[in-house]
Amino acid sequence: MKFKRLFNVSLILILIIMNIGCDQVSKSVIRKNIAEFEEVEVINKHLTLTKVENTGAALGFGAKFHPAVRYVTIIILPSIFLLLMLGIILSKNTFHKTTLIALTFIIGGGIGNLLDRILYGSVTDFVIIDLGFIKTGIFNMADLSVTIGALLLIFSSFLPKKSLEPSESSH
């Protein structure tokens, strides 16, 4: 049983680290190769790369806050939240696999953006998708991880719940 637990914890940490790694590598490439506000069309006008340094949270929220308030709202509170989430998923093994994967994406993406805020004072956003009928705001791979995690979490809420009761056949 200890091996299975160690395997599960290792898998959780690997998924989180992979999310952080993809985010940080992509941002590093953008920081080194694209000037701020430069636009690079990848697929016509449907996928554009442009570097923007966001000193706030999602869509710039909080960028104009007093520095102390901004520090608490975009560094301290997210750090506490991410540590609590990590502690919960590492200490409990009652989550559905889809829920667990969703939470690792949310934690990995959250840590990716948190690292940027701590190391650089801003988050590097660089992707814009324009499909004509819908256009995204500018985002990065950490944002994508959090979004995928949230969608998986919604999906997993419709999956059958694990029963905490012993099965009839075990009596």
Q: What is the pLDDT of residues 148-160, one digit of tens each?
A: 999 999 999 988 8
Task: Count CB atoms within 10 A of the CB of residue 149.
Answer: 22
Is residue 23 part of the annotated active site? The answer reads: no
Catalytic residue among 23, 116, 130, 143: 143
Q: What's this model's pTM, rounded to 2 decimal places?
A: 0.86
As a residue count, the chain comes to: 171
C-alpha pair distances (Å), 161 with each of 28, 74, 88, 121: 40, 34, 18, 41
Percent of the chain with pLDDT over 70: 91
pLDDT tens for 32-79 read 999 999 999 998 889 999 999 998 777 667 777 778 888 888 899 999
Q: How far is CA 147 from the centre of its chain?
A: 7
Is residue 125 part of the annotated active site? The answer reads: yes
